A and B are shown apart, each in its own frame.
Chain A
Amino acid sequence: MLANNEIFETVKMISDQNLDVRTITMALSLFSCIDSDAGETARKVYEKIVTAAGNLVRVGEELSLEYGIPIVNKRVSVTPVSLIGAASGGYEQICRAMDEAARAIGIDFIGGYCALVHKGMTDFEREFIETIPSAIASTEKVCCSVNVGSSKSGINMDAVRLMGVKIKELARLTAQKDCVGCAKVVVFCNAVEDNPFMAGAFAGTGEGDRVINVGVSGPGVIESAVAKIPDAPLNELAELIKRTAFKITRAGALIGAEAAKRLKCAFGTVDLSLAPTPKVGDSVAHILERMGLESVGAHGTTAALALLNDAVKKGGVMASSNVGGLSGAFIPVSEDIGMIDAVRRGAVTIDKLEAMTAVCSVGLDMIAVPGGTDAPTISAIIADECAIGMINNKTTAVRVIPVYGKAVGDVARFGGLLGEAPIMAVNKYSAEKFIARGGLIPAPIHSNKN
């Protein structure tokens, strides 16, 4: 029998602390859509998405009412399009078909305009990457990711160099909207195949035909828990975060399993990432500040984040045997009100964020830099982040937005859940010659495990 305090704890988490299921993402295999004719491939892609995920939004809304928990986003991820269009070319046509399908079924985003080039690039993958700026700028709902490194294979510096150039091009094409196109592109090291979060979601080639992956969130719930024991030693704090993460994950696992059943899909993973939004009471930065930091970015931030990230993972792993995806704390700048404030007061720099990414999930996320930042500097930021991921056997990513016409002190406004970002300074010294070398940074010695 349930105790009253347990019931009211759940109600309070949902009503006051912004507990929600951040996303239900259906991962769809598009291998059956491959055709030698680009128009035919695009038509099959549209058909497959509309047929397989046509009920996704309705089922999400039903579950939300039945279980009384908000489900914020309904999304679809697909097999990396660089592979699906390899035989036909016409990548942009496929991208438009994805966008139209996403609109037709009413989902928020569709991910999988993706290439995996962590060791080398084929001609068709190079052709695919060339299309990224115009494909992403001319569509609304399509998200793009490129995996340029892995712990096993090293870092493909030719791809890193190319992505710096493409991000700048995309920024130019969407300059009128504060270069928001770049918010839909992420560059990965060690990309995971079952991530439900955008912009990096794609359906891995090792996955099944139709799989439901769920992303749970709840920074506000963790913050409220931390606030209850303001003076407790950190091991007690870790224990409390762990127990709270357990409850959040259980809610997500229930919704995921039920969604999979109703949509006749396999149930994939629960990603228990703490994903902030620009709302008050939904901030990862505020959790760190509740732990005792005057401002996120202060010395001690990396240690606090390491504790938080690990405790969330431990609670989640106990709660579900389907834990996957990225699973940890996200630290995007523009999507977290506490992070935005910290940048404004000068407490957080890009260098501190880079250190934080060594201990949390993902990486340098939703960071706006001056419009004058050149392509080699963006490539160098990506290379640094990939090195952290490669050496530490973890996923790292870069989603950076060079905002044309804006400089340090200005603010880029993206709107909605993407929020707004004060422009952050980048190091003024050049890495151009280093990036121009290209080639491969070899995999670390400890990758040799066979």
Chain B
Amino acid sequence: MKAIVTVIGKDKTGIIAAVSGELSRLNANIEDISQTVMRDYFVMMMMCDVSKSEEIASIAQKLTDLGKKIGVDIRIQHEDIFNSMHKV
């Protein structure tokens, strides 16, 4: 199952390290990353395979906690929500 992780927040050192470290601990395999900094704002999107990890709901909780710790907004969502909204 594929899920999409989005990270948005004020740029600082170590965001990618912290998020990818947590995903690795959760056994979520990152398949695609795109990241940029727009006007001091860090914006990142990751496509992950979560078939071998826990339920998305419990990953979501852990990523939210991590987000609070490092001061950015982290979400994980089933990829179908994006596919259904943007693909005909």
Contacts and interface: CB of A to CB of B under 8 A. Distances in A.
Given A11-B6, A11-B8, A66-B55, A6 B78 contact: no
Interface string B68-88: 000001011111111111100
A67 interface: yes
A68 interface: yes
Interface string A37-68: 00000000000000000000000001001111
Interface residues of B, number: 24
Given A2-B4, A2-B86, A8 B45 contact: yes
B6 A250 contact: no
B57 interface: yes
Interface string B5-48: 01010000000000000000000000000100000000101000
A247 interface: yes
A10 interface: yes
A7 interface: yes
Interface residues of A, number: 21
Contact of A65 (B60, B80, B84, B85): B60
B83 A2 contact: yes
Contacts of A15: 73, 75
A122 interface: no
B85 A62 contact: no
Contacts of B79: 2
A129 B4 CA distance: 52
A3 B45 CA distance: 10
A450 interface: no
A70 to B, nearest CB: 12
Contact of B4 (A7, A69, A253): A7
B76 A251 contact: no
Nearest to B64: A65
B60 A7 contact: no
A2 B82 contact: yes
A235 interface: no
A8 B43 contact: yes
B71 to A, nearest CB: 16
Contacts of B66: none
A448 interface: no
29 contacts: A2-B79, A2-B86, A3-B86, A6-B82, A7-B4, A7-B45, A8-B8, A10-B86, A11-B6, A11-B8, A15-B73, A15-B75, A62-B57, A65-B56, A65-B57, A66-B55, A66-B77, A66-B78, A68-B76, A68-B77, A68-B78, A69-B81, A247-B85, A247-B86, A250-B85, A251-B81, A251-B84, A251-B85, A254-B81
Given A7-B45, A8-B43, A10-B86, 10 more contacts: A6-B82, A7-B6, A9-B86, A15-B75, A62-B57, A66-B56, A66-B77, A68-B78, A251-B81, A253-B84
Interface of B: 4, 6, 8, 34, 43, 45, 55-57, 60-61, 73, 75-86
